[in-house]
Structure formats: structure tokens, C-alpha cells
Structure 1
Amino acid sequence: MSEIDAEFGGDESPSSSAAAALEHVVDPVVIVADGRITYTNGAARDAFGLGTDDSDESQPGTALDGWETLETAIDETTVGTARRVELAASKYDARVHREADAATVIFQPDLEIESTKSDRVVKDRAIDEAPVGISISDPDRDDNPLVYINDAYQEITGYSYDDVVGCNCRLLQGEDSDEETIAEMAVAIDEDRPVTVEIKNYRKDGTEFWNEVTLAPVRDDDGEVTNYVGFQNDVTARKEAELALEQRTEELEYVLDRVEGLVQDVTAAVAGATDRSTLESAVCDRIAAEPAYNGVWIGERNPATERIDVRADAGDAPEGLSADDDHPAATAIRTESTATDTRDGSTIAAFPLVYNDIEYGVLAVRTATDRSIDDREAVVLSALARAVASGVNARETSRVLATDAVVAVEVDVTDTAVAPVAVSAAADCRLEYRRTVHRTGDRTASLFTAIGPDASEEALADALTDRTDLEWRVVVERDGECLLEVSGGDDPVAWLSGRGVRVQAIESENGRARLTLEIPRSADVRSVVEAIEERYDRTDVVSFRQRERDGDTREEFAVRLEEELTERQFAALQRAYLGGYFEWPRPTTGEDLAETMGVSRPTFHEHLRTAESKLCQAFFADR
């Protein structure tokens, strides 16, 4: 601060002693406050032709040459500092001394002015035009008031220069400004160290914004703090995104915590149920136990009535719902996708129960309030619906193996995507299905007996050259027939078994395969047949008939096999099994076992091989 500024003390006009001193200053001196000239010394009155009776003398724009340049310089000068100004339209240059309420301007001819390209001017302009808010405060003044703000500060906060100069920076704070953050800034200022915080501030119009504030002390050559500089950056968009992410994360953690137990319990119900009805009831009861839901039910489309019959429910379940209705449950079955709707003040969401393209019904839930079901919740419930459908499929498949009451269905398939159809169409041979065998991983292959002129590896290789989608090999080759292992293409055996259907036989010749299927009477036979017709082009249903399943029980099979073995064959097989002969390493030898039977080793092995052959024939011959 200059001596003149100190004498004036920041008033709009100098004291009488200061005024007397200024009258002897040869350079023109003018004091400007609130856009008016409040004092001129004699040199100024002479230089600018100002008289005591001039009515315009208080208007600097009229009285002073180069006032526009001076006015801008005054606005840009930090309180408590001085600035040199070049006045191109005047014979004078000026030095501006800025105080909070007024500015003293000294006009000097031939004053050395810093070039606009000088380092100081470039730095001043950089601060004025910086894209971040910059403010400077003076800790030597009471309450550490702001003495400078740049344009970006004004744009961010809505406060003008005159609004904030002379005020503490806390004017940006409001009711939701964090007290701990405010205290952190205060401590840093007390300790004369820099600090960066993020705090909710308020613009002049009262709107909130997130302000990234950096405060740092400015020191003189002696290391004393003379000012504080503040940098303000509006980070509202980034902060709101972070807070939204935190909220979504918290909500997701809540959902996951709640869903974890639900998924575990539903999975346990699916795994532990002995039949389909028990499974469906347990699932409904468990989901309905969640406070979020007011009702849960599982329904199934009745193909005879085209209505959705409720199989199990816990709470709210509709009655007499048509499969063509606009209810979410009907929509979910028709579209095989999730459907939601708001009815009677709550949300109903329905999830199809589908496994391997077989429809097992629909799972529907009603929320306890008028809240919507968001995507995350829908994903969880969809996963539960798939688990239920898988469990139902497993129960239906088990029932196929256990039940004796079946519907025998014969269908003719000519779709060459089916492996036996493709082979019989390309090669001159007839295929008879024997059984399915497991390969590595989850892959399976089917064994067929091939009979005919092309039932050889060489002939099949020529016939199937173009069918690169098929993998095949001849396991055993005899005159006019071979045992053929085939994988790839469309495997109807695996596909149908996943739907609770047992393939009894496949016979394929001239590109047409007849499949003999067994479907439990209690199953939706029509749905299974429709699925076959939809999957395979040019499918013809040959016959339907209800019957009891053929085949022995385990006890009957054992009795029949024992009757086919001679006493010596049965004894050799029994002693080999009980003696651990089929284990590795073997605890006994064929010679030891032969000695227990009182026969030679070659005789024992002959009886054992014959018994093994009869066992394999009984097990594999009709499968």
C-alpha cells in the first residue's frame, strides 16, 4: 500500500492534512468512488480543466481522457495493490492504487509503462481469463476478506466483483455445506498450509453446486504470508455422478444381501422337493415371505381350455385367466419373456418357466407397494424362474423313468439336420438306434447299427464327405453291417430326454427316420409333440397310444439273468465280483479263484467270459 493510500485510509476523500499535502503534488491526483470523482488536487483541476462550479466534474467519463481504460483497470486491480496503466488516448499514463471502497489515480507524463507482452502483464491476464475461478484474500485485514476475483469466479458463483470484495469467502456456504469440510479449510488457513476439499456451495441465486476448492498461502520474499489464493472448480456433474454411483452401489448391495438368502432358499427348495407340486409350493411360500411381495403364484397353460391354471400360490392368485388375456402372466407365456404391469396400486411381474424350449408355465409376483420392479430385481427373479423350470424339468424327467403309464408316440422325421436322417439319405444303409454314450465333457454320441451295401468305413467316408458338421467313426465292422458312432448335427435323443421324453427306438432309411417315444401320461403330450413339429421340418405324427411301459424291474432283471447263466458261469461271475477281480490292483488272481471252484485256470476264464457276455447281452441288446 502506498503512503498516500495509508493516509487516506480507504475513505472516499482524503483527510484535510492529506488533501493539503496533495495540493503540493505536481502530478494530477484523482480519487474515484462509486463511479464518481470525489477529489482532485490542483494539478488535476488544471490539467483536466476542472472547476469547482463544473456540474460534470464528478463524472469521470466526461472529465478524464481514457476513462474506459482506467475503469477496466480499476475493476481488475486487487484491493490493496497498485497497477500501472497506459492511456493511449491521453498525454498521461496512470498508476492506480486500489482500496475496497475507492481508487486513487495518479497521472504522470512520460511514465515507463510495462509492455503488454511483459511477464507481469501476461500473468495478470492469465489469472483474469483462467477457466477456473480464482480469488485472492488479504489475511492482514479483518476477517480475511476477498480482494480480488476473476471472471470465471463470477460465472461459477453468480456474484459480481462488488458483491464479494471485502467479504469473507464463507458467503458461498449454506445449510448443507459440510461442517467438517469447513473446519478442515479453517485449520489449513490457521496453519498457513494449502488444502483441497470438495464442498457443497451456493450461488447468488441460491442454487447448489459442488465446488472443488484449493486454498494456498502466498508468501513474500521474507516467507511471510501476505495473501491467500483460492481456486474454485465447479465439479457438480462429476460429484453427482459419483454420488449416484454410490447410491446405486448401496442399493445393489442391499438387493444382493436380500436376494442371496432368497436364491439360496429357492435353490434348496428346488433341489430338495421330491415332486413338482412340492417344489412349486415351496418356491411360492419362500418368495412370498419377502416383505417386498404381497403375492406369488405359479400357473400352467391348459392346452384343452386355453386358460392358465394355478398350480401353487401364496397370497394373491387370479381365477379363470385366459391365455389370450393382457395379464402379465398370459403375456409372459405367449412371448416367453418377462412382462410387467401396474394393477390395483401395485406392480405385477411375470416370468416364463421355460427349460430347453419346453414351456412349464409362469411365475408371477405382486409387489407389496406401488413401487416398480427395476432391472436388477427382474434379473434376479428371472434367474429364479429358470431355476424353477430346471427343477420342474428334472422332476418330469425322473417321472418318465419311474412311471409305467406312458403314451407311446411314433413320429417320422425327414429333416437332414438330424444325424441318422442325414446318414441314411447319403448312404445306402439302414440305421437302428442302440444307445447314447457319453464322451468327454458334456458331449454325447449315439450308437447305431448300420446295415446295407454302404455299411462300411470306406463307403460311409465317400457318402458323408460334404457333411462336415457330423463326427462319426466305425466302431466294429462286419460283412454287410457295422456299429457306427455318430455325434454332431441335431441330436434328438439328448434334446428329447431334456424334456422328459424317452426315445425307445430310431430306425432310419432313405432319409426318413421313425422315432418311437415314451411320454408320461401326466405330461403335456400335446406340448411335446408341438415342440417336435416346430423344431424339425416335415415331421409327421404316425400314432398315439396309451400303454404300460415294457421292461423288467431290477429284481425281475436279476432273476431272468440268473436263469440264463449255468451254475458254473454264475459261480465264476459271483466269485470274481466278491473277490475283487474287477478292481485294480487286483487282490486276487484268476488262478486263485479257479482253485476255489476246483477247476483249472483256463476253465475258470471260459466260464467268466461266457457269463460276462450274457450279462452284456441282457443289458445292451434291447437298448
Structure 2
Amino acid sequence: MNVESGGDGVLSRRQYDSLLDAAETYREALVVRLCGDVGLRPAELARLTIDDVEQARIDPPRYLVRVPPAEETRDGRTAYLPTRVERELRRYARSNDLSPEDRIFSVTPRRLQMLVSGVTDRAAELFDDPSLADISTGDLRHYFAHRSLVERGINPRVVKAAGGWRSFEALESYLPEPTEAEIVDAFEAVERPSDPRGRDRQRAGEGANAAAVADDSIVRLLLAASDRYALVRLDEEGYVERWNRSAAAMFDYRASEIVGTHVSAFYPDDAVEEGLPERVLSAALEESGYEVDGCRVRKDGSTFRATEVVSPLRDDRGRHTGFALFVRDVSSYYDELETLRQRRTELERRYTLAWQQRALTESLLEAADHEAVETETCETLVRDAVYEFAWIDRTTMADRRRNWRVASGIGPDDVDRIEPDGDEWERPDGGANGSGDAVRGGAESGDGASDDEIAVRVAELATDGEGTADVPETLEGVDGGLVLARVPLAYGETTYGTLTVAAGREPAFDADERAWLETIGRQVGYAITAVRRRNLLLSDRVVEFDLTCRDDGSFLVAASDRLDCRFELDSLVPTSESTQLYYLRLEGAEPAAVFDLARESERVTEFRLIETYEDGWRVEFVVEGSLPLLTLSEYGVTVRGATIESGTATITGECAGDADLRTIVDGFRAAYPDSELVGKREAERTVRTAREFREGLEDRLTDRQIAALRAAYFGGYYDWPRESTAEEVADAMGISSPTLHNHLRKGQHELLRTFFDYPSGAEGSEPVGTEPTGESG
């Protein structure tokens, strides 16, 4: 279709718009516009720069383009550059970082012709119109001339100069022969009196029409720039007449597939059955426009969320000619909205968990004993529907039934009916929540925590469907299912039991929540330890008991068995939460043999010989991890004495009179199975007054030692800084400095000996191991 040589074919406005819709890049659309709206040739486009654009008028802004001449001629020309094209041209230059001297299209004229040819081929395929494939750059110049001369009525001399035609004969073929009616209409001005204001109004009207055309072009560019906005033209009955490239991308139909199809093809089946498409068109016709939100359907059956605006179209006489359908894909907006809702729900859940932890902390501070700690824990966690229910099982041997249970939200007897078996508790990386995040901690069975076990285990519990006949009444109102999480209640190496909670929400027990539950487990374990120790310190009556332990998991038990020796505990000094100093009397084996075994133990980190007696030795061990004495101490027990001989440890301890001794023994046996309780008795707590302490100490000090201590104390020797030196105190007493130091050393030794182990070796002696202190309570 080459009309520049004088053919009769003229490119229609619809065909020109189809080319613009088929342009896939900003560059392609700009080349088409420069040919069809400005009348430039490919050779002229190849030489064009931003410097060639000149603003001819400021208000309103108007632009000209100085078309550079070819190398073989010195003649250039000036063409009119529409405002919208000037904006697009400068935007293209900015986006490609072009300087004013750079060529806008740094390709050959032939390459520009091929670019236009690619657009026309694509338009022919997209709009199923083979005639579009034959359009050339010359046809676009023909379109420019025809529209300028015929549709816009521009002076032919102006069109000739702006388009670069050498004579009017080149333009004559673009002008059709006028009809008689056109001749009469053209000379209508002769019959009208001159009216400048009327001409002004006519020109104003022409300017308004041009602005409307420009606005249409801007809308088309905006729609073509995104696949989320579609414009569809419907006839008066709602059948598709035409749509833009964005609509094709949004609904995934070719023009040949959708043209002539009713708009109901874009609606879901249930909406079509309800007559929604017809109601929307009727409402748009009655209200001169209608907006609706809903799901729309693509060719492949997939749906997306869309906002749809339908406006009726009318001709100059007001007759209804069809509808303009504007569709916006708002799926991403609703996806983001749903994400924000989920995030808000998650924040509300975390806020509730934080408040529950605060409430739990306050309740634990008020708990008076072990049972109160467990009860407050379960009731607080179930409060405000954070969890459906919660229960705590005391630690016992694996082959014995749990004999103590505190529950909230569910009856203790109902727990056995829903509690999963041991192999149903899954690790987080394969559990119900599927998060795949491992959490460090202890075992579900009640053993001490270790690195290769996890603190929180999860299991699913179905409350509907098959196999629910035995579900307790308290769960009959729960839809779907529950997820259970179990965490040990531990302090140090000691586990007091397990806390199990159930959640009926999604998601349940993610990595953060499991970490929070792990903290709760440690917090409750610490509270149990604190109340046990506090009650022991404040109790007037105590229970003394004897335990034997033959478990070779203890280094001292194993060493006494292999070497047939005897250890007697002098003192146990904790240096950190996991490290203790043991001071022991050794009999029946050489220290070197014991130290050889200690080197093989992973828990014994240091050892040394302290003192040698006639019948034995005093040795020191630094031990990391739990041993039987520390396990009892963490249960709030004061160790009164311990002997380890021939593979058997005999430990004497005391606990508060109201303490649950069975829980202590069962917890100890959970860590050291080969153990048993061999005796218990109640006793009044022995209270030694300050006067008794002083009288006992005075009996063990000589007069010279007492005199030296008094002189040094009241003379300021123990002050800091010292008020008196040792020489000054010795001179005051009339003795030598070495004699004073000898008296002071022996006196201080007796003072510390009386405090730590008086009366040595007697029945009812003070504890040689650790005992509860105010630090933990």
C-alpha cells in the first residue's frame, strides 16, 4: 500500500490507532508518530537530534522541528511538532540519557523502515487484519497529508512546506474532488456577516476539539504502558467490537477470538447464571456510567480481581451506540491487603503472647509452692484464648504412669484420651507446622536437655471426621484440628516435667512461638526451683531422706566401682550454672589412679591433689554438667552428706516439710534410673543462735589467738585502707610480726572451720554441699 506516488488508498484513523496499539516499545510508537503525525521520512529521522526541536510559542507552548538537510543538499525544512509528540520525544531522550547533539535514532533509514514493518506485521496478526501488514512509512506520510488537508483543513501551502513536498501537484492527489454540497458549505462565510467574537468562538471550539484528540492519545499511551489497564469497546448489546493491546494481555485472547463475543465471557460462571453482566450494562445505561468490583476470568479459566467501569457511548444525536468498558487489574492490591491483614493478625497474636508472658511472670512471682506454679502456668496460658487448653505432667520413670497432672481448659482425665503416643510427636522440621526451623532444648521424656534433642515438639490432633468418637466434650466445639506443642520445664540439668499446650489457629507454633515456649519452660523451671528453695529456707520442719545411686553415669560412682575406693564429700561449690568444684576425701586408691580415670571423663575438666592425710587424701575436681548431688540441689534439696564406695553413692539430704518428696525422687530417678529411696524421717530444723556460735568458737580459740584477732580488728588492720599495719599491732602487743601473723592465721582458720563444718563429723552437721540461697529465690 504505497499512496505517496498517487494511489487512492488512504490509511484510516482506526488502522493508524491499531499500529500504535501494536507497538511494543516506546521507540516503536515514537517512530510511528513522527511519520504519521509530523510527516518525517526515515532518512530525516536518522539525522534528527533534540537540538533540532525549537519552541516557537510560550503560551500556549508550541514547537517546530528543524529537519536537518541531507548531505547532498543544503535545503532543510521546518515541520510542526505536536505538543504531545514533543513531550514523548524529550521523555525518550531523557530515558536513554541522550545529549542534545546525539542522534535520537542512531540507526540507518533502512533499519527504521524495518522497524515500522515489524509493527505493521504485528498489528496485522494482533487485529486479524492482513491489510495492515502492507503499510509503509510512505503510507504514514500519506496519512499525515490527508488528515492535515481533509480532516483538519490546514492550508495546503503550510502542509506542503511542513511535509517537505516540492509542489502542490504532489498534494493534489490527497485532496478529493469537492461535491456541490462541500462547495456551498465552503462559501458559507460569504453569506455571514463578519463577527470577530463568532470567529473566536469557532477557533476556541477547534482548539477544544484538538485538546480532546490530544487527551485521547494520552489515554491510549497510558493504557498501552501497563498490562493492568484494559479498554474494551462494546456494541449496544454488549458484544466486543474492539479492544486495545492491554486488554489482549489481560484476558489472553486474540482479537479474532474475542471480537463478536459477549462481555459475559469475562465473568465467572456463577455470575453469568445470576445475570450480573446484563445488570451491569443496564445500570450503566440508566446511570450514565457504573463501577463494580469482582472477579474476572481469563481465557485459560484463571481468575483475577478487577475494578470495572462501564460508560455508555452515544452519537451526536444522543443515540446509544455501545459501551466503553475500562478494566483495572487490582489483584496485587488485594493480595497486599490480605498480606497486611495477616500481618496485623500476627502482630495481634504476638502482642497477646507478650501480655500473657507478662501475666505469667507476675503470677509466678506470687506462687507459694510447686503446685501453685503449675496451676498458675496452665490457667494463665489458657486465659484470653491464647491456647485452647494446657496441662503439665510431672516427670516420672518412662515405664510408670504419670501420677500428677495439672490442667486448664480440659479435664485431667481427658488428657489420656487425646495425648499422642511418643512416636507421634514430631520434630519441627517435619511436624505439623512445617516451618523447618530447628529449636534447641531438652527431651520430651523428661531427661535433661542435650544438644541433639529439641525443646519443643509438635503433634496434630484431629477433632472432626473419622476416629473422633472418643473426643472429650471440651473439644467438640473445635473445628478442624488442633496442634499440640510440648516443652520441658527445666532448670539447669533438672527437668521437673513437661508443659503441653494446644492451639486451634493457623499458623500454630512457628519458630518464634516455639522459642517463646522454650523460654516459658525455662522460666517455669526456674520458678519451681526458687519456691522449693525458699520454702526450704523458711520451713521450721524438714524431711531428711537417704538415696542410693548405682548409676554409672556419675563419674564418682564409676570410679569407686572400678578402683574399689571410697569418696566422702567435704564440700560442693558451684562456680557457674553448669560448673561445680568438688572437694572430696579419698581412701582406698591412689590419687594418680583416680586422676587417670578423670582424664577419660568428658565432664571432669580439672583435678588436683590438695592435702595428704595418714589414711587418705583430699582432692579437688572441676566438673561440668550434672552429677547426682547437683541434680538434688536443683530440686531444692540441701545435701547433708554423701559417701561413694564400691559403685554405690549414699546421699543424705533434706527438703521442706511440705515438699512433694515423691516428685523429687522420681525426678532424680529420671536422670539416674538405678537409684532408690532407702529412708526418710521428719525433723525440726536445727537453729544455732549467734551466742551459741560465739561460745563454740571461743572454746576452740586460745587466749593469744583471741587477743591477736581483737587487737587487729579494733586497731583497723582489717579496714581498707588499713589504719594499722601488722608491725604496729605487733608492737602494741609486745610480740614480733611473724608471731602475730601465726596467731591471726590460726584464729581465722578456726573461724572459717566453725562457720563451714562445725561440729566436724557430728550427727546433724551443717550441709557440706550446696544449699538454697536468697540469690535463687
Shorter-normalised TM range: 0.5 to 0.7
Kindly provide the CA deviation profile for residues 115-163 of structure 1, in whole angstroms up to 9, marking residues without a partner as x: xxxxxxxxxxxxxxxxx9799999xxxxxx977649xx75751433147
| Structure 1: stretches of 5+ with no match in the other structure | 12-69, 86-94, 100-131, 139-144, 175-198, 212-231
CA distance in 2 between counterparts of 1:388 and 1:518 reads 23
CA distance in 2 between counterparts of 1:530 and 1:243 reads 54
Closer/same/farther in 2, CA of residues 427 and 490 from structure 1, 3 Å limit = farther
CA distance in 2 between counterparts of 1:465 and 1:7 reads 99
Q: How does 1:347-366 map to 2 (within 5 A)?
A: 354-356=489-491, 360=496
Q: Report the Cα offset of residue 256 of structure 1.
A: 2.3
Closer/same/farther in 2, CA of residues 423 and 265 from structure 1, 3 Å limit = same
CA distance in 1 between counterparts of 2:593 and 2:267 reads 90
Q: 1:209 aligns with which of 283, 295, 304?
A: 304
Q: 1:618 aligns with which of 754, 758, 761?
A: 754
Q: How does 1:9-158 map to 2 (within 5 A)?
A: 74-76=124-126, 82-84=132-134, 149=245, 154=248, 157-158=251-252
Q: 2:616 aligns with which of 455, 464, 481?
A: 481
Q: 1:411 aligns with which of 548, 553, 568?
A: 548
Q: How does 1:176-187 map to 2 (within 5 A)?
A: none
Structure 2 counterpart of 1:471: 605
Q: Report the Cα offset of residue 326 of structure 1.
A: 1.5
Q: How does 1:238-317 map to 2 (within 5 A)?
A: 246-271=340-365, 273=367, 275-276=369-370, 279=373, 283=377, 287=381, 290=384, 292=386, 308=404
Structure 2 counterpart of 1:535: 671
Instruction: Name the amino acid aligned to 1:505.
Output: G
CA distance in 2 between counterparts of 1:7 and 1:602 reads 124
Are residues 1:544 and 2:639 paired? no
Structure 2 counterpart of 1:398: 534
Structure 2 counterpart of 1:345: 477
Q: What's the Cα RMSD here?
A: 5.6
Q: Report the Cα offset of residue 391 of structure 1.
A: 0.6
CA distance in 2 between counterparts of 1:292 and 1:519 reads 36
Kindly provide the CA deviation profile for residues 34-81 of structure 1, in whole angstroms up to 9, marking residues without a partner as x: xxxxxxxxxxxxxxxxxxxxxxxxxxxxxxxxxxxx999843468798
CA distance in 2 between counterparts of 1:265 and 1:512 reads 45
CA contact (8 A) 1:475 1:483 kept: yes
Q: How does 1:502-517 map to 2 (within 5 A)?
A: 502-517=638-653
Structure 1 counterpart of 2:220: none
CA distance in 2 between counterparts of 1:592 and 1:384 reads 59
Aligned to 2:535, the other structure's residue is in SS state helix
CA distance in 1 between counterparts of 2:495 and 2:596 reads 41
Q: Report the Cα offset of residue 407 of structure 1.
A: 3.5
CA contact (8 A) 1:135 1:146 kept: no
CA distance in 1 between counterparts of 2:618 and 2:609 reads 5
Aligned to 1:500, the other structure's residue is in SS state coil
Kindly provide the CA deviation profile for residues 225-277 of structure 1, in whole angstroms up to 9, marking residues without a partner as x: xxxxxxx99997x9888666544433332222222232223223324545446
CA contact (8 A) 1:407 1:545 kept: yes
Kindly provide the CA deviation profile for residues 547-569 of structure 1, in whole angstroms up to 9, marking residues without a partner as x: 32675446344553344334553
CA distance in 1 between counterparts of 2:746 and 2:351 reads 62
CA distance in 1 between counterparts of 2:714 and 2:131 reads 108
CA contact (8 A) 1:306 1:322 kept: no
Kindly provide the CA deviation profile for residues 445-468 of structure 1, in whole angstroms up to 9, marking residues without a partner as x: 21212224513xx44455555446
Kindly provide the CA deviation profile for residues 91-111 of structure 1, in whole angstroms up to 9, marking residues without a partner as x: xxxx99xx9xxxxxxxxxxxx
CA contact (8 A) 1:413 1:514 kept: no
Structure 2 counterpart of 1:67: none
Structure 1 counterpart of 2:417: 326
Instruction: Name the amino acid aligned to 2:133.
Output: R
CA distance in 2 between counterparts of 1:323 and 1:7 reads 84
Instruction: Name the amino acid aligned to 1:345.
Output: G
Closer/same/farther in 2, CA of residues 289 and 466 from structure 1, 3 Å limit = closer
Structure 2 counterpart of 1:590: 726
Select the structure that is richer in strand. Answer: 1
Structure 1 counterpart of 2:654: 518
CA distance in 2 between counterparts of 1:5 and 1:79 reads 16
CA distance in 2 between counterparts of 1:574 and 1:448 reads 34
Q: Report the Cα offset of residue 617 of structure 1.
A: 1.8
Q: How does 1:182-197 map to 2 (within 5 A)?
A: none
Closer/same/farther in 2, CA of residues 512 and 389 from structure 1, 3 Å limit = closer
CA contact (8 A) 2:374 2:392 kept: yes
CA contact (8 A) 1:429 1:452 kept: yes
CA distance in 1 between counterparts of 2:707 and 2:520 reads 53
CA contact (8 A) 1:419 1:489 kept: no
CA distance in 1 between counterparts of 2:601 and 2:709 reads 44
Structure 2 counterpart of 1:185: none
Closer/same/farther in 2, CA of residues 445 and 289 from structure 1, 3 Å limit = same
Q: Report the Cα offset of residue 292 of structure 1.
A: 5.0
Are residues 1:422 and 2:558 paired? yes
Are residues 1:496 and 2:595 paired? no
CA contact (8 A) 1:338 1:382 kept: no
Closer/same/farther in 2, CA of residues 563 and 282 from structure 1, 3 Å limit = farther
Aligned to 1:6, the other structure's residue is in SS state coil
Are residues 1:160 and 2:254 paired? yes
Q: Report the Cα offset of residue 421 of structure 1.
A: 2.2
Aligned to 1:159, the other structure's residue is in SS state coil
CA distance in 1 between counterparts of 2:383 and 2:661 reads 35
Closer/same/farther in 2, CA of residues 350 and 361 from structure 1, 3 Å limit = farther
CA distance in 1 between counterparts of 2:668 and 2:490 reads 15
CA contact (8 A) 1:301 1:307 kept: no
Q: Report the Cα offset of residue 434 of structure 1.
A: 1.4
Give the TM-score of the pair, scaled to structure 2: 0.47
CA distance in 1 between counterparts of 2:721 and 2:252 reads 90
Give the TM-score of the pair, scaled to structure 1: 0.56
Aligned to 2:384, the other structure's residue is in SS state coil
Aligned residues: 457
Farther-moved stretch of structure 1 (489-498 vs 606-615): 489-498
CA contact (8 A) 2:639 2:654 kept: yes
Identical columns (%): 22
CA contact (8 A) 1:450 1:481 kept: yes
CA distance in 2 between counterparts of 1:552 and 1:448 reads 27
CA distance in 1 between counterparts of 2:228 and 2:352 reads 48
Structure 2 counterpart of 1:384: 520
Q: Report the Cα offset of residue 408 of structure 1.
A: 0.9
Closer/same/farther in 2, CA of residues 324 and 79 from structure 1, 3 Å limit = closer
CA contact (8 A) 2:717 2:725 kept: yes
Q: Report the Cα offset of residue 615 of structure 1.
A: 1.7
Q: Report the Cα offset of residue 542 of structure 1.
A: 6.5
CA contact (8 A) 1:298 1:363 kept: yes
Structure 2 counterpart of 1:6: 10
CA distance in 2 between counterparts of 1:571 and 1:235 reads 95
Closer/same/farther in 2, CA of residues 80 and 453 from structure 1, 3 Å limit = closer
Select the structure that is richer in helix. Answer: 2
Instruction: Name the amino acid aligned to 2:358.
Output: Q
Aligned to 1:523, the other structure's residue is in SS state coil
Closer/same/farther in 2, CA of residues 478 and 262 from structure 1, 3 Å limit = same
Aligned to 2:545, the other structure's residue is in SS state strand
CA distance in 1 between counterparts of 2:402 and 2:719 reads 57
Closer/same/farther in 2, CA of residues 148 and 362 from structure 1, 3 Å limit = closer
| Structure 2: stretches of 5+ with no match in the other structure | 16-119, 144-225, 233-240, 269-292, 307-326, 426-442, 447-456, 464-474, 761-767, 769-777
Aligned to 1:82, the other structure's residue is in SS state helix
Q: Report the Cα offset of residue 394 of structure 1.
A: 1.9
Structure 2 counterpart of 1:374: 508
Closer/same/farther in 2, CA of residues 210 and 399 from structure 1, 3 Å limit = same
Closer/same/farther in 2, CA of residues 202 and 600 from structure 1, 3 Å limit = same
Closer/same/farther in 2, CA of residues 405 and 426 from structure 1, 3 Å limit = same
CA contact (8 A) 1:77 1:83 kept: no
